[in-house]
Each structure stands twice: as structure tokens, then as C-alpha cells.
Structure 1
């Protein structure tokens, strides 16, 4: 008998075909495990057992050993690793110091700018001339357009932000955010100043006077805020220069608003009679009521009740209180910048020369003194010695004093 036949017979004898029966709920199932399948399983179990025995013997009977060369290599790796850690630590320290220094520089700049903005805001708040109450009433109803006399429409002059130190990772996003907030504050401050200037300018235009001849609007003056922090130093950067220029632009806009508002605040724009009234004779050519001849009326006549209160049409100083030929009892008030208002044909004078009056102060009563045909107020306005139409001032005043 051959070796193959003997082996086959041994396998058939050792691993005969087996049937496994399983009964559940009256149902019988069976599984067949063939000789080949049993041989494969036996081989697998034997291989795993041998590997386990070999591994266990290696651990138990073979002492651990590391070659000198491998040991030296590991030591070198550890030394390099320690050196890298030290180098990284030194680099981190130097970067931290650099960042701290630049952050301190950035915060110093921001603090300087904050101080400048505070000074500008204080100037805006504390300047009584820029009190917005003078423009309340119907002032908001005026459609404000750029003056036709200006070459370019008025608009915000904010500079485009320049990227630099404040936009780098060194200064942090918070510093950049504060810088942006400061720029936004300047924008809002300039916008508010521009609104005041435009509103005042629009009302002044309604008076139909030549504003180019007004010294307050044409003569230059000093800045409203201190610019002492604008000097160059070692901390100065392109952003500092841009910020300083932006501050100067906003300060100029505030000065413009202050000048227009100051002029508007002092003009005789209020009604000169303290009760309801009517205009009985306009400014310009008319038939003289006494001579019945054509003539020029240099003011307007306002009718109301006898002894109706006559009030100052604007703040100023009384420069005359007495009688004038043809006018009867007269009060003249100097409002500054060449503007004078005259109140004539009064019955009583209730002020005296040198008095400082505010808008609405009682200065007399309506009468018919002088060259007059009945009780009324003859009202005139002078600009640099020349008479102007008071009706235009009353129209403009409706946007300032009437609600």
C-alpha cells in the first residue's frame, strides 16, 4: 500500500464525516462536517498553538538585549529632541517679547487717539454754538442740497483705511477692532457736523443774503481742538499720519458747522411781535400812505393790537433806544457780523442803550409814533449798513423757531 493511500486512510479514520443534529420545537436540523473541513480546522488550531508556544518560550527563556549601536542612536535622538525643545522655547520667548512690545506700541497709539477723540467730542458737546436746539422745529423739513455755489458736493472725506501694523497678527484683532471703532466715531462725528453745517447753511440761504461777504464765514481762524498730539515721534506710523489728517478734516468740518451755527444763532430770524400779527405793507416799491406818491419802502409794516408786545427778533445789544425823525420811538439792536434790526413807531420803549437782549425779550409796545397813520410796527434789517428784506428773514426763521 502506498504512502498516499496510508495517509488518506489515516485521515479518513481520524476525521470521519460527522453529522450534528439539532432539534428545536419539534423540528430536527443537522449539519455535516466533512473530512476536509475537519483537517483544515485541525491544521489551523495546530498552527495557532505552535505560535503561542514559541512566543511564550521566547519571552520566558530569551533575555532582552539592545545593541550598543541602537542604544547610542536612541540617546542621540533624545538629545536632539531636547535641543529642539529649548530652541522652540527661546523662539517662543523672543516672539512673545516682540509681540508684547508691538502690542504696547499699538495700545499707546490707540490711547493717544482716544485722548484726541475725547478732546474733539468735548469741544463738540461743550460748544454752545453747536447746540442742535437752534435747528429744531421745522428745520428737519428742509431738503438740504449742496450749494450751487460750491464746485463739489459736500461729502464725507474719510480716508481709505491703510493696511499696516494694525492689521497684522502681531497687534491682535481686538486692537484692530478698536482702531475701526475710532474711525467709525470720526465718521459719525463728521456726519453730525456736516448735518449741522448743511442745515444752518440752508436756512441762511433762505435769507437771500450774500454769505460770501460775511467775514465770519470767509475769514480763517484757529482750530477748535488741540493738535498737540500730532507731533511726529518714534511711535509715528503711516496709520498715525492718516489718523491725524482725518482728525484735521473732521475738525475743519466742525469749525464749518460752528461758524454757520454761530451766525444762524445770532441772526434776527424770530418774529418781532409777541402775538399773532399780519404784514400790512411789504418791502419794496409802494404808494406812500401819507404823501400818496410812489416811493420805496425799506422795511415791512406789521399790524397787531395797540400795545402789542414788541420783542427782539434775535440776540444782541441795544445800540439805540429813543426817537428818530420819521420813525418816532425806535429801538435798534446789533446782532453782530454787520446785522442790525430796527423796531419803529413804538408806543413805549422798554429797554435802554447798552442792554444785552436775548431772542424774544420784551423791548417795547406797538404804537403809532412818528410818521404813521395807525398802530403798527415798522421793521427793518440792515446788513453792513444796507437794508435787506425782513420777509426773507421771517421765512427762514420759521425753520428755526416755529414748531
Structure 2
């Protein structure tokens, strides 16, 4: 699936008009959270706001806006309240407020989306401020909306996309565009590595993908996937940010060991996973302990990788198990905003079956 932002940038480069649909606010039980987005064009859609009749109704509105081809504000930006009840054939029972904005090709608009994409790729959050009651252009904000006639703390205290009013009573969509976080550093561009990257490319994370064989990398990767084709993959360990998640699955056990040594020497790694069996783990533990690595350091190595209960050897099966494991670790990390230290050993033991 192509992300809405990558698709939007491509649509603008090709001078194709589109409608961006954003979940602006919710009440009760709904399929998606505020900030979920989907892009419509006359030919298709990208990403999802929850599927079913909700998307069907959103598609109707979006395509009507595209067909109108009007400069009237109602055909450019609009807010719709949609109840998820019997009239839509859904039983969620909640209410979704959807923001629709028509986006046509233009240099100013393109620069805005490019700036957002660059911020995302560098791991920086941005707020998108879109006026709903007047036709001023959208703005990208960091942490202050006071220049738009809003209290300065409104962004600092907010945690999600929301509808707000300025000091003149006009409505705005304040859309939190979270960056691609965290960073995954993956060594190995073989079948399993490629399958994992395919899944990670659909999630809010950034990937540094490393291999010695440049011809192994597929074309057309999204911007949050960065390729490093190098004769010295060990050096890429030091390129990673503090708090990165490492995955090692190269074509060579000797290289796997070299990378393991380099990663275990980093005290700021969030997690390190090594593909292989329990036998491989024992061999590596023996070799690394002979090279001076302590038991505490070896505890930080997860091998085998992947959540328990998925035992298929197909690349796609391994990818699902490994990405699920990463997502569990991310949930653990982001539901504990300021942990005293990374719970490496506990998380590692729980997820590779040792505890």
C-alpha cells in the first residue's frame, strides 16, 4: 500500500487533482483514530480511514468535489459529520468527523508536502493547520499556533489531531503529522530482509537498510526507507541513532558475528535481533564470551527472532513474526514515556521464549 503522503507527492508531480480525507474528530467507537488519512483521486485511493460504508460515503463526497472543479470553498474544503449507525450499515455506534480538502497541483502546495515529507524522514513531528472557514493556505507548525490567533499552549498540550477555533471563532483542523519513528537498522537484503522491509514500509517507522550487494535492493522504495550499499556494513552500526532497533540477517555468519560485536558495544541500542536458531545463539554466545563480552551484554541479543507461535519458514511468515515483535517493543516503549532504562533483558526474554 502506498502511503497517502507519497501518493500525494506523486499526484502533484503528475498534475493530478486529489482529495485528502482526514479523521478530524471522533465520538464513541470508530474504526480509526483522529489523524487517520486517505487520499482519493478520480482513479483510485491510497491508505484507509477504516473501510466499509464509511469509506464508501467518503469516496462519494471526495469524487463529487473532484467532479465539481469549482473554486467555491465548499468544493475545496469541507467538514462532514458521519454517524456509524444503521444508515451506513455499520454497528460501531460512534460518530466520525471527516475533513475533506481538495489538492490541486501547484508549486506552493508541492513545497509544503515536500517539507512535511522531509520532516518525517528526519524523525520530526509537524502540525498541519488548515483553515476550514476561509481559503487561506495551510501551514506547517512545530509547537506554536499563536500566530494563527490560537492560545500558544493549544499545540503543546495536544496529543492528537483535533478541531479548534481561533480568536475570531473560525474553525481549523490542527492535524498532528507524526514522524516515521523509531529507526530500524536492518542488515541483509535477501528474501527475508526484503519481506520485512515490505511490511515496515507501511508502518510509521524509518529504516536504514544495509547490504554489500547494491543490486539486491528493489527500486521504488518510499522515502522513509534509506538504502546503504557499502563494502563496510560494520560502519553502518555507528550511523544509527540512539535508541535504534537492529536486525541482523546477512548472507554470512561471519559478518553476522562482526555486526553483533559492534552492536553489543553500543550502550544506547533499544533492541538487537539476530536471525537464526537456538543453536546459532549458543554458538554466538560462546564465541562472543571468548572475545570478552559479558553475560549482561549477551542478554541484550535476541535470537531466535519473531513472536512465539509463528513457526513458518517462508520469508513472509518470518516477516510477520518479526514485525509483530518490533511492534510489541514499540508499544512497550511509547506507553512508558520516560523509562529509566530500556527494559532490554525483560523484553528480550519475553519475546524470544526465554522467560
Report if TM-score (shorter chain) is over 0.5: no
Category of TM-score, reference length = shorter chain = under 0.3
Which is helix-richer, 1 or 2?
A: 1
Which structure exhibits the higher relative contact order, with contacts defined as CA atoms closer than 8 Å and separated by 6 or more residues? 1
Q: TM-score when scaled to structure 1?
A: 0.22
